[in-house]
C-alpha cells in the first residue's frame, strides 16, 4: 500500500474505467481508484478479475446494480468500496475473501444480505449505512464476525437489534443512527471495547442499565443519543450532558425505574423518520 493511487486522467467517458485499469496493470499499482466513472456494469472493466495483486478497489459513486460472484477471485483485496451505487444484492462469495478487512456498501439499495454473509475471516470494518436493512433481513451468522471493530448501520430500518450483537467482542464502533429502534438489547453492555455508540434519531425511551458498564464518557469515547423520545429523567440528564446520563443509568434508582418501565409495557413511540424520499428506496423500472 505504499504506492500512490492512480489518478484519473481526463479521457472520453466510454473508456474511463478501462483506461484506469490498463494503467494500473502497467505500473503494477495494487490500488484501483474507479470512483465516479459512470460504471454501470462489471462488463466495462475487462480483465479486472485477473488482477490478483490488487489490495484496494474503490468503485464509489457509480451505477453498479449487480456484483458478480467472480469478484471474490481477487484474493489479495483488503479494501472494497461500493459506496453510492445501486446494488440490491451481494453475492455470498464475498464472505470468503481471505484478506478483506474493510467493506463499504453504504448508500446502496440492499433489502437483505445473503445467507452465510457473516463468514468473513478477517473483516474489521463493515459499512452498511443508508440501505433498507432490518433485523429480519440479517443472515443467521451475521454476528459471528468476531474480528469486526466497526459496524455502520446508520440510516436503515432496524426496530430491534438482535441480542447476538454481544458476540462482537472486538467492536469499538457501533452506529445505529436514524433507524426505527424501539429498544436496545442489554447485550450491548457486553461490548467492553466499544468507544463509539451512535443511537441518535431512533424511538428509544430507555437504556438498559447494562450500558452503564461501558466506558463511553472518556476523552476517547463518544455516545450520541439525541433525538429520541427519552423518558423524562434521561432527557433531563441528557440536557446536562452525556456523562450525566451515564452516571444516572448506573444508579439503583434508575434500575428500579427501568424494571418498572419494562413491566408496564408502555405504548411504542411512532416512527420518527420519513424515509419515503430515501435514495435507497428507489427502484429500477422493470
Partner 1 sequence: MPGIDMSLDNMFCSRCGDGFEPHEKIVNSNGELWHTQCFVCAQCFRPFPEGIFYEFEGRKYCEHDFHVLFAPCCGKCGEFVIGRVIKAMNANWHPRCFRCQMCDKELADLGFIRNQGRALCHECNAKAKAVDLGKYVCHKCHGLIDDKPLRFRGEVYHPYHFNCTACGVELNSDAREVRSRPGFAANEMNELYCLRCHDKMGIPICGACRRPIEERVVTALGKHWHVEHFVCAKCEKPFLGHRHYEKKGLAYCETHYHQLFGNLCFVCNQVIAGDVFTAMNKAWCVHHFACSVCDQKMNQKTKFYEFDLKPVCKKCYEKFPSELKRRLRKAHEQTPKKMPL
Q: What CA–CA distance (Å, rounded) separates 236 from 231?
A: 9
Query: Minimum CB separation from partner 1 for residue 149, in Å?
Result: 7
Q: Is 265 left (phi over 0), alpha (psi -120 to 50) or beta?
A: left
**Residue 71 or 257: which CB sits closer to partner 1?**
71
Phi, psi of 252 (to 5 degrees): -65, -40
**Contact between 203 and partner 1 per CB under 8 A:** no
**Residue 193: CB atoms within 10 Å:** 13
Q: How many residues bind partner 1 (CB under 8 A)?
A: 44
> Going residue by residue from 111 to 150, which x/- string records binding to partner 1, judged by CB under 8 A?
-------------x--x-xx------------------x-
**Closest C-alpha among 143, 151, 158, 149 to residue 175:** 151
Taking CB under 8 A as the binding criterion, the range among 40-48, 69-77, 151-159, 182-190 that sits at the site for partner 1 is 151-159
Q: CA separation (Å) from 162 to 30, 101, 120, 255, 276? A: 38, 23, 19, 22, 25
Residue in 18, 19, 25, 61 binding partner 1, rule: CB under 8 A: 61
- The DSSP output letter for 278 is -
**Contact between 183 and partner 1 per CB under 8 A:** no
H/E segment holding residue 224: strand 222-224
Query: Minimum CB separation from partner 1 for residue 258, in Å?
Result: 26
**Closest C-alpha among 116, 135, 124 to residue 100:** 124
Within 214-253, the residues that bind partner 1 by CB under 8 A are 220-222, 226-227
Q: What CA–CA distance (Å, rounded) separates 77 from 164?
A: 28
> Going residue by residue from 82 to 111, which x/- string records binding to partner 1, judged by CB under 8 A?
-xx----------------xx-x-xx----
- Residues lying near partner 1 in the complex (CB under 8 A): 1-2, 5, 33, 35-36, 56, 58, 60-61, 79, 81, 83-84, 101-102, 104, 106-107, 124, 127, 129-130, 149, 152, 154-155, 173, 175, 177-178, 195-196, 198, 200-201, 220-222, 226-227, 277-279
Amino acid at each position: 500500500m505504499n504506492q500512490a493511487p492512480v489518478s484519473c486522467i481526463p479521457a472520453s467517458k466510454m473508456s474511463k474505467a478501462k483506461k484506469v485499469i490498463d494503467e494500473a496493470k502497467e505500473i503494477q499499482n495494487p490500488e484501483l481508484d474507479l470512483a465516479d466513472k459512470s460504471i454501470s456494469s462489471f462488463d466495462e472493466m475487462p480483465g479486472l478479475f485477473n488482477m490478483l495483486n490488487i489490495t484496494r478497489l474503490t468503485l464509489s459513486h457509480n451505477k453498479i446494480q449487480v456484483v458478480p460472484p467472480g469478484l471474490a477471485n481477487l484474493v489479495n483485496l483488503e479494501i472494497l468500496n461500493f459506496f453510492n451505487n445501486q446494488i440490491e444484492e451481494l453475492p455470498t462469495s464475498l464472505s470468503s475473501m481471505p484478506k478483506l478487512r474493510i467493506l463499504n456498501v453504504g448508500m446502496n439499495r440492499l433489502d437483505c444480505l445473503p445467507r452465510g454473509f457473516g463468514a468473513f475471516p478477517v473483516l474489521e470494518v463493515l459499512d452498511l449505512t443508508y440501505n433498507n436493512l432490518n433485523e429480519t433481513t440479517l443472515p443467521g451468522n451475521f454476528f459471528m464476525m468476531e474480528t469486526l471493530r466497526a459496524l455502520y448501520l446508520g440510516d436503515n430500518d432496524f426496530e430491534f437489534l438482535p441480542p447476538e450483537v454481544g458476540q462482537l467482542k472486538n467492536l469499538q464502533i457501533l452506529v445505529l443512527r436514524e433507524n426505527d429502534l424501539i429498544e436496545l438489547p442489554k447485550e450491548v453492555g457486553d461490548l467492553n471495547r466499544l468507544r463509539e455508540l451512535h443511537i441518535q434519531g431512533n424511538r428509544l425511551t430507555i437504556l438498559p442499565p447494562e450500558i452503564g458498564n461501558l466506558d463511553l464518557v472518556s476523552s476517547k469515547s463518544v455516545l450520541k443519543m439525541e433525538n429520541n423520545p427519552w423518558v423524562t429523567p434521561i432527557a433531563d440528564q441528557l440536557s446536562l450532558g452525556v456523562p450525566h446520563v451515564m452516571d444516572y443509568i448506573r444508579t439503583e434508582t434508575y434500575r428500579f425505574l427501568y424494571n418498572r418501565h419494562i413491566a408496564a409495557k408502555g405504548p411504542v413511540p411512532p416512527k420518527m423518520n420519513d424515509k419515503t424520499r430515501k435514495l435507497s428506496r428507489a427502484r429500477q423500472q422493470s
